[in-house]
Structure 1
Amino acid sequence: MSWSIITTPPDALPPRPMTMRAQSIPPRHHFPDHAHDWHQLVYAIEGVLTVSTIGQTFITSPDQAAWLPTGVPHRVGSLLGAEFRSLWIATEAGSALPRAPTVLAVSPLLKALIVEAAAIEGQGDPDGYGGRVVTLILDQLRRAPALPAALPWPREGRLAALCEALYLDPADERSAADWARELGLSSRTLTRRFEAEIGAPLRSWKRRLRLFRAIELLNGGMSVTQTAMELGYGSASAFIFAFKAEMGASPHAHARQNSRRGKPAIDFPVHPARAIAHTPRAPES
């Protein structure tokens, strides 16, 4: 299925020092390629975003946000829909923040501040409360841990169709050879293209995807047993074993740890091939 374009605001004013935009992104919608004369924090309080910048495309969960410095071309969208929060931050106000696109961990406090900033956006600020919220957000962003990467994602074409299908049905057990036939490629071509673009074999990426989806489903209130079935595990115990092997803690313990410490639910390493600069082609902000 194709993606639809969301029109960007034609009368955007520079942030002084921060502007909050809140909107719902429908499924399979994205913003066209563009850049800003200010910094942007791309974040979803609910749902998952697909973010493309120069040289990489990835998806982020509500535990993660994408920091996009001034002038960086990008696009953002959502496969299943998301509650999007876009923080536009003046260049000078974000001078202490990363100078390259970065995935940041979002703590419970930072998420709460973003929700509050959206609630009071556009209101008067006679007692300076809004300004204090902005100051706290900037402080939290400066303290936010940078993650090596979110879940890598193909930019376009048949590989993107493959990953979308697996995201929608992580229990799908088809092999690389099966998918190659489905997509009209040789098994060798599919394997080579996937590793070149994603930086990992399809089997490894599927394992990462299941972990990403597990965090997403558990954070959404789904039980461990339901999550195990949704991801295609034969039993809850098999899911718990696999989760502990990857994360070092049970699903419940990991959620408690992240809630207390404000740590990211998941992070993945960037493959060196991902650093090659080129113009990406996948959903946008």
Structure 2
Amino acid sequence: MRAQFIPARRFFPEHSHQWHQMVYAISGALTVISEGGSIVISPEQAVWLPTGLRHRVGSLLGSEFRSLWIADETGSTLAGASPMVFAVSPLLRALIVEATAIAGEPDDDGYVGRITQLILDQLRRAQPLPTALPWPCDDTLAQLCETLHADPADPRGPDEWAQCLGMSARTLAWRFVAETGMSLRSWRRRLRLFRAIELLGGGMDVTRTALELGYSSTSAFIYAFRLELGSSPQVFMRGRSDRVASDPVKPSQQDSDE
């Protein structure tokens, strides 16, 4: 397992492993590009990358993340042979935190092995999560998404964006659904949720976050957040802060291969 940091607008080179990998963000958002498509995951989501899958991992704004590497023969009974996004449960997170803290220690009493086994048990229970943010592979649409990621409050609608991109609104709508599986409107709504977690996690208050994301009022932002995540921004972030506080601080690593 490895704790790593990747700076803003940086990607690891495309590569594959002879082992399975689970990667998830402690803070910030990660972009994962593979043969199965391109997605962005928010903090507390993870991506399962099976053996041999060619992929790239990067971040638009920078991210602290964790990687678990699992031997091919062991991982074959876990999350499956296809890339998958799933939620990192509080228990799985706590186990990974403990595994990081005891990395390299001798396993005289079998404790390290028991922690490892519990992590594997949690991964066997992982279920696909439909709320990841798909990212288009088409360069033109990727430019659109990157602009909106940088400024979620951008007021331009589909007609204006279509004109900027040199296509009709109908063509833009069709191509966006074909690339991401969702409409531009739905994608922007999910993007705002992802950016909300990033901004709140960085210490921004709820009112300022609502304005940064382009909501007409704080109450509209709180309603949208509760609708998607089942709790208010304050309650969600309080629970997340409690979990992050339990993660021991270790030197981050930045490598050419994640």
| Match status 1:69 vs 2:50 | yes
1:236 to 215, 218, 226: 218
Letter matched to residue 51 of structure 2: T
Q: What is the RMSD computed on CA atoms of the aligned residues?
A: 2.6
Match of 2:245 in 1: none
Runs of 4+ with deviation above 6 angstroms? 256-260
Aligned residues: 243
| Match status 1:171 vs 2:153 | yes
Q: CA 1:245–1:147 in 2, change beyond 3 Å: closer, same or farther?
A: closer
Match of 1:85 in 2: 66
Letter matched to residue 134 of structure 1: T
TM-score between both structures, scaled by the size of structure 2: 0.83
TM-score between both structures, scaled by the size of structure 1: 0.75
CA distance in 2, matches of 1:259, 1:141: 23
Q: CA 1:86–1:156 in 2, change beyond 3 Å: closer, same or farther?
A: farther
1:67-90 CA distance string (max 9 Å, x none): 112222222111111112211101
Give 1:180 shift: 2.4
| Match status 1:197 vs 2:179 | yes
| Match status 1:47 vs 2:28 | yes
Identity rate, percent = 64
Give 1:228 shift: 1.0
1:207 to 189, 212, 217: 189
Match of 2:133 in 1: 151
Match of 1:4 in 2: none
Q: Secondary structure at the match of 2:73?
A: coil
Give 1:173 shift: 1.0
1:184 to 137, 142, 166: 166
CA distance in 1, matches of 2:63, 2:52: 25
Letter matched to residue 60 of structure 2: L
Match of 1:117 in 2: 99
CA distance in 2, matches of 1:96, 1:259: 33
Q: Secondary structure at the match of 1:146?
A: coil
Q: Secondary structure at the match of 2:97?
A: helix
Give 1:117 shift: 2.2
Give 1:248 shift: 5.1
Match of 2:251 in 1: none
CA distance in 1, matches of 2:184, 2:43: 25
Letter matched to residue 29 of structure 1: R
Q: CA 1:148–1:238 in 2, change beyond 3 Å: closer, same or farther?
A: closer
CA distance in 2, matches of 1:141, 1:98: 6
1:124-161 CA distance string (max 9 Å, x none): 43443332221221122223333135111112412111
CA distance in 1, matches of 2:184, 2:66: 31
CA distance in 2, matches of 1:53, 1:191: 24
CA distance in 1, matches of 2:231, 2:8: 33
Structure 1 residue ranges without an equivalent (≥5): 1-19, 261-283
Give 1:206 shift: 0.7
Q: CA 1:207–1:238 in 2, change beyond 3 Å: closer, same or farther?
A: same
Match of 1:274 in 2: none
Match of 1:162 in 2: 144
Higher relative contact order (CA 8 A, sep 6+): 1
8 Å Cα contact 2:27/2:198 also seen in 1: no
CA distance in 2, matches of 1:74, 1:259: 30
CA distance in 1, matches of 2:197, 2:7: 22
